Structure 1
Amino acid sequence: MTSRPPVAAVRRPAAVLAATAALAALTTPPVLADDAPGTQLASTDCQFGGQVIEGTPWSLQRVITKQLWEGKALKGAGQTVAVIDTGVDKSNPQLAGKVLDGKSFAKSKATADGVGHGTKVAGIIAATDGFPGTGFHGMAPEAKILPLQTSTAEEGGNLETMVDAIKAAVKAKVGIINISQGTTADKSQLPTLQAAVDEAERAKILIVASAGNNGASGKPTNTYPAALDNSNVLSVGASDRNNERAAFSTPNEHVDIAAPGVDMVSTVPVSGQCVDQGTSFSAPYAAGVAALLKQKHPDWTPAQVIWHLEKTAARTHPFHDNNIGWGVIDPMTAVKDDTTPTGPVTDADLKSAATANNGDTEKIIAAKLTLGETPAERNARYGTYLVIGGGLLLGVISAGAMARRDWLRKRGADVL
């Protein structure tokens, strides 16, 4: 039996590493979560049943939800998003009543999540708004989540489980599938994945997929299914506070748009929240906005949703690039612009819009620079102050001691 090449892996929780190693010998390549090395900004580690993080995450500060949700009329009601991942723990209070039974392809239970990854993904899509003690919420808080578990802490995912999960989502007739996983195996070795995505395309199901986290070198790499050419696949890279490509986000020609993926707050199993980063969390941000669009425009095809998100994205140049695609997703503009998309965005369209003097929605939108500091940056600043202050204090003490010593010596000489 000829084995397929291994999948290039990004960070996984420690409990999964042994399973990942074992999967390397299988005939189907492991398909691993697209999360980058976590950055915990709260006062404790990312623990299940952890703290509730106060304040509003930066990724939501730029969104006026009352306008985005049109009061309370547009919050994703009637939309079901399949989350192909490590399961979704339905016990987190911010996910109460939102998580359907789902199905596990990893010998476990879809509504349990021993890894935490799938629960974070689900929270970014549909976590309850107005939850006591936090400003965090999902982009479409009235959407339902269908968990399709492809891996656990004991058993890593692989191509077969991903394919089975996509087929299950098609059978369940969901409107959107979020896949924050991927494989870097050669496309020619993924006929079953291609067939499953083709099936979803025929069923008019939008697939929102992470572009991958192999971007540290800046070298383009394809991660599948995000890099497939199907009209229903939205490939999402990660952007930072300055609307630029996050350092870990994988650049390639297939990236359609970018979405916030740095220092992302979301739900964890049992209760509470923590902070993580990666294109894993950019994809559900986009999937949540897509759910709002699907509620508002139920007749739009997956391709039309993608074209609309691309057209209304925030960008600083009139062309597609490998880093953030057609720009960074702009939830407000996407929802408020009711223009029915008729075709894909092109460089020619953007160049024409860039030189136009009329039609605000046709102008290039400058990316907004966020001048606020992160909690980590603030802690670093406080630490710097402490070091400097301590150094100054020691200097004052030392100078005082030297002056006293000189005074005592002079006084002693006078006495003798």
Structure 2
Amino acid sequence: MLSPGAASPATAGPRRTVSLLLPALLMAVIALVAPPAAADQVRGSQSRVLRTLGVDAAWRVTRGAGALVAVLDSGVDPRHHDLAGSVVTGPDLTKGAGPRGARPSRLHGTYMASLIAGHGHGPGGADGVIGVAPAAKILSVRVILEDDEPGFRRFNSEARYENVVARGIRYAVDRGADVINMSISKDRPTRQERAAIRYAISKGVVLVAAAGNDGAGRRDAPYSYPASLPGVISVAATDRALHKASFSNRNSLVLVAAPGVDVFGAGPGDQYWVGRGTSQATALVSGVAALIKAKHPKMTPALVAQALTTSARRRTARQYDPGTGFGVVNAARALAEAARLSGHRHTASGAGVQDPDLPVAPGAGGERPQLPPVQVVARDTGLVTTYGAVALAAAACAVAFLALMVVLVRRARRGREHVMIENPQPDRRPRAPT
């Protein structure tokens, strides 16, 4: 089990590695280095990622105003210069795991939030981190502890914290979230998480999650959750050349990809960080989804996913690759595709179309019809086996008979040719007199 993200300080310095492992629950890996980079160095360092995502063209359409993105993570620092005024702090669902008065570090969550909705600071917001949807709002819901926090082991050992992600999803949905970012991963989902995801999708909420970072040296890495659950957009990470990053999981449920190597973001206390992981890629895709929902608030999760996949950039002629899904997302092209899809419904409507909320062929007044009992046909497997054997034997005999006929015909032809050679016909051509 491995986290979706890794980060390190944006400037050089002595390094120490911190592993955020959440046994039986959620995980992350973060490498910390001090001191942080200057804010005015960060924007230039973001240019490669922003250019890959095509955000400049997308921002001519929308910057995400009106969209609410829930960040289910380790918490977000609402006072960071690049996030001030954009963060609503929700509940701490890990409460009770740590000692009274312990303050959460909120590194991973702040980092992800900045990639989604960072708005920079200074004159014209030109300094610091700018996210993919800088006008969007963030709803922070704390569902994990980072491994250097007191209470980490308790959080991962007590059953009462097993379904914090499911509770976080439902809370975000009920508070009006348009997109839920889950830069987290675990080995297997719970029944409550599956139900919460179905609930979110039924309410039109887009769910985006990290494919996981267990792909190094493996052709097919494990499936991680919640990314691999139906209806969730599973995001892989790419390197600078837009190939699958070596650490990124490869499996058949990866839907799209985004840059996940050397991605700059914000940390608590007005710090800045650079890191790698599917966590970062996931946050970037959530930002693109927020742009789509800001422009088309009623668009269903399925159509948002279609807009992302149809418009994604592919490096090969193949339509799908388990390493990068349908390709690297592009915000401008995704918005254009969403505009085309906005005239369509995920379910059919109009005259003659069955209302999906009613049973098939309802009776008078819309009541549920009395359907006849289902007839179960019992088949004698022994008899089926016998018939199959007889059929195979008959087929074998037919093939043998045909082969015998071919042999006999060939022998007959060779016999006629021999007779013609031994008894040639007399030469009846006219000859000159002798």
TM-score by length of 1: 0.69
Q: Offset at 1:266?
A: 0.4
The equivalent of 1:137 in structure 2 is 130
Distance 1:136 1:175, change over 3 A: same
* 2:51 matches 1:61: yes
CA–CA separation in structure 1 for the residues paired with 2:94 and 2:212: 22
Residues 221 and 249, structure 2, Cα contact 8 Å, conserved in 1: yes
Query: Is there any run of 5+ residues in structure 2 with no aligned partner, and where?
Result: 8-15, 157-161, 347-434
The amino acid of 1:181's aligned partner reads I
Identity %: 32
Partner of 1:368: none
Query: What are the residue-to-residue correspondences of 1:256-295 with 2, within 5 Å?
Result: 256-295=255-294
Q: What secondary structure, in the 3-state scheme, does the structure 2 residue paired with 1:265 have? A: strand
Q: Secondary structure at the match of 1:339?
A: helix
Corresponding position: 1:215 with 2:208: no
Q: 2:108 corresponds to which residue?
A: 117
Distance 1:101-1:288 versus aligned 2 partners, 3 A rule: same
Q: Give the drift of 1:15.
A: 9.7
Residues 136, 317 of structure 1: alpha-carbon distance in 2 compared, 3 angstrom cutoff? farther
Residues 1:225 and 2:226 aligned together: yes
Change (3 A) 1:146 1:11: closer
Structure 1 CA distance for aligned equivalents of residues 89 and 3 of structure 2? 29
Following the alignment from structure 1 to structure 2, what is the Cα–Cα distance between the partners of residues 343 and 253?
Answer: 27
Match of 2:249, SS state, is coil
- The aligned counterpart of 2:38 is 51
Q: Secondary structure at the match of 2:341?
A: coil
Displacement of 1:32 in angstroms is: 1.4
* AA matched with 1:154: P
Deviations 1:264-315 (A, max 9, x none): 1001101031101100010110010111111111221011000110000000
Two-structure CA RMSD over aligned residues (Å): 2.8
Paired residue type of 1:114: S
**Bigger share in strand:** 2
Residue-pair matches, total:
314
- String of CA shifts for 1:81-118, please: whole Å, max 9, x gaps: 00000000111100010010211111289xx7504000
Shift of 1:319: 2.0
> Do the aligned partners of 2:4 and 2:211 also contact (CA within 8 Å) in 1?
no
Q: Does structure 1 residue 165 correspond to structure 2 residue 139?
A: no
Deviations 1:353-398 (A, max 9, x none): xxxxxxxxxxxxxxxxxxxxxxxxxxxxxxxxxxxxxxxxxxxxxx
The verdict on how the C-alpha distance between 1:160 and 1:167 changes in structure 2, with shifts beyond 3 A counting, is same
For the Cα contact (< 8 Å) 2:258–2:285, is it kept in 1?
A: yes
Q: Partner of 2:187 in structure 1?
A: 184
Query: Is the Cα–Cα contact under 8 Å of residues 214 and 249 in structure 1 kept in the other structure?
Result: yes
Determine the C-alpha separation between the residues in 2 that align with 1:173 and 1:322. Answer: 33
Structure 1: gaps of 5 or more residues? 1-6, 345-416
Q: C-alpha displacement at 1:135, in angstroms? A: 6.5
Q: Is the 8 A contact 1:256 1:324 kept in 2?
A: yes
Go from structure 1 to structure 2 and tell me whether the alpha carbon gap of 1:243 and 1:339 turns closer, same or farther (over 3 Å shift): same
Provide, for residues 46-99 of structure 1, a one-character-per-residue CA deviation record: whole Å limited to 9, x for no partner.
55x7632341422013355442211xx611111110000000011110001001
DSSP-derived class of the 1:242 partner: coil
Q: State the match for 1:301 in structure 2.
A: 300
> Secondary structure at 1:213's aligned position in 2?
coil
CA contact (8 A) 1:113 1:269 kept: no
In the alignment, residue 247 of structure 1 is paired with which amino acid? S
| Distance in 2 separating the partners of 1:343 and 1:321 | 28
Q: What is the aligned counterpart of 1:106 among 91, 94, 101?
A: 94
Over 3 Å counting, the alpha-carbon distance change for 1:113 and 1:126 in structure 2 is: farther
CA apart distance, 1:134: 3.8
2:143 counterpart residue number: 150
Rg bigger for which structure? 2
Q: How has the CA–CA distance of structure 1 residues 125 and 214 changed in structure 2, closer, same or farther, with 3 Å as cutoff?
A: same
**Structure 2: distance between partners of 1:333 and 1:9:** 30
Give the distance between the partners of 1:222 and 1:245, measured in 2 at CA: 16
CA distance in 1: counterparts of 2:241 and 2:330, whole angstroms = 13
Give the secondary structure class of the aligned counterpart of 1:102. Answer: strand
- Which amino acid in structure 2 is aligned with residue 276 of structure 1? G
Given candidates 82, 88, 92, the residue that maps to 2:76 is 88
The amino acid across from 2:234 in the alignment is S
Distance 1:116 1:169 in 2: 21
Q: Distance in 2 between matches of 1:234 and 1:46?
A: 34
Q: Does 1:240 align with 2:239?
A: yes
State how far apart, in whole Å, the 1-side matches of 2:17 and 2:191 are. 30
> For 1:336 and 1:307, how far apart are their aligned partners in 2?
12
Contact kept in structure 1, 2:204 and 2:298, CA below 8 Å: no
What amino acid sits opposite 2:86 in the alignment?
Answer: K
Change (3 A) 1:276 1:30: same
1:30 partnered with 2:25 = yes
Alpha-carbon contact 1:238-1:260 (below 8 Å) kept:
yes
**Cα distance change of structure 1 residues 251 and 291 upon mapping to structure 2, 3 Å threshold:** same
- Asked if the contact 1:31–1:162 (Cα under 8 Å) also holds between the matched residues in 2, the reply is no
Deviation at 1:146, TM superposition (A): 0.5
Do structure 1's residue 77 and structure 2's residue 70 form an aligned pair? no
Query: Residues 46 and 222 of structure 1: is their aligned pair in 2 closer, same or farther, counting only changes over 3 Å?
Result: farther
Q: Tell me, in whole angstroms, the C-alpha distance in 1 between the residues paired with 2:17 and 2:192.
A: 28
Query: 1:335-374 residue pairs with structure 2 within 5 A?
Result: 335-337=335-337, 338-340=339-341
Q: Give the Cα–Cα distance (whole angstroms) in 2 for the partners of residues 168 and 129 of structure 1.
A: 28
